[in-house]
Structure 1
Amino acid sequence: SFQNSCEDARDINQRQAECRYMDVGGAHFHTSVDTLKMQGPHLFSVLASEDFPSEVNGDGYVFVDRDSRWFGLILDYLREGTVLLPRSAVQRNAVRREAEYYGIE
């Protein structure tokens, strides 16, 4: 119904208002605080916590000095609890290293 759609839109707007902007190895990512807190505890759940004020650069991004190639997969895992890993063993290991760095099991 229209009313349900309006409520859904309000929920989406609320989540977007709580967005985090991340610069990972020079690539920009935007995600919600809720996503960063999922599948925790890990580094991102701490960064998203109100108890830990994140340092942001002049553009409003939290800088993470890591390889951005795999960060989208990390976010997918946080959102869904699962992720389709690359076929290459070398690439899978790279994703696993990134996940370990962030404290994601």
Structure 2
Amino acid sequence: MENPASPQSREVAGNGSMVVATISLDVEGVLFKTSISTLTSVKGSYFDRLFQNNWRDHLDKHGHLFIDRDSTIFPLILNYLRDGNIPLPRDEYYLERILREARFYKLHGLCCDIEKRIEFGAKQKAREAPKTPSVTI
């Protein structure tokens, strides 16, 4: 029997069509529904490791997987898992919040992208900073 958590996981419906294995996530009270293959798309990530174990033991009474993390950042995490990249904001505070979540979910590629963006922003700020005139006495 195929592992239902594997990225290739599919079930055959009664009409012979393929059905993608999905899961509902409760992230800080906000529900998200996605495919298990999306969640496990990055090898070694939080979800990849979670779905290699007894993940069904972690479902709540409604069949949702509860994740006590930032629900406002999670859509970006989910889009990264879907597409392999996301447009990053310039706002440093927002970048730091995304970075914190990317680290939790062990999305090393996203962490690197964010760290580069933060470094680029810091260099750009330094170049744009007004130069104070030096006074010689």
Shorter-chain-normalised TM-score: which range?
0.7 to 0.9
Q: Which has the higher contact order (CA 8 A, sep 6+)?
A: 1
> Aligned pairs, how many?
91
Q: Where do 4+ consecutive residues of structure 1 move more than 3 Å?
A: none
Q: Does 1:57 align with 2:60?
A: yes
- Note if 1:21 corresponds to 2:24: yes
How is 1:9-88 mapped onto 2 (pairs within 5 angstroms)?
10-11=17-18, 14-15=19-20, 18-49=21-52, 51-54=53-56, 55-88=58-91
TM-score (norm 1): 0.79
Question: Once superposed, what is the RMSD of the aligned Cα atoms?
Answer: 1.3
TM-score by length of 2: 0.62
Distance 1:103 1:28 in 2: 21
Query: Separation in 2 of the partners of 1:52 and 1:38?
Result: 18
Q: Find 1:90's aligned residue among 90, 93, 99.
A: 93
TM-aligned CA deviation for residue 97 of structure 1: 0.5
Deviation of 1:87 (Å) = 2.8
C-alpha displacement of 1:41: 1.3
Percent identical among aligned pairs is 34
- The alpha carbon displacement at 1:26 in A equals 0.8
Q: C-alpha separation between the residues in 2 aligned to 1:48 and 1:19?
A: 12
The one-letter amino acid paired with 1:22 is: L
State the 1:47 CA deviation.
2.2
User: Unaligned regions of 5+ residues in structure 2, if any?
Assistant: 1-16, 109-137
Residue pair 1:35, 1:78 contacting (<8 A) in 2 also = yes
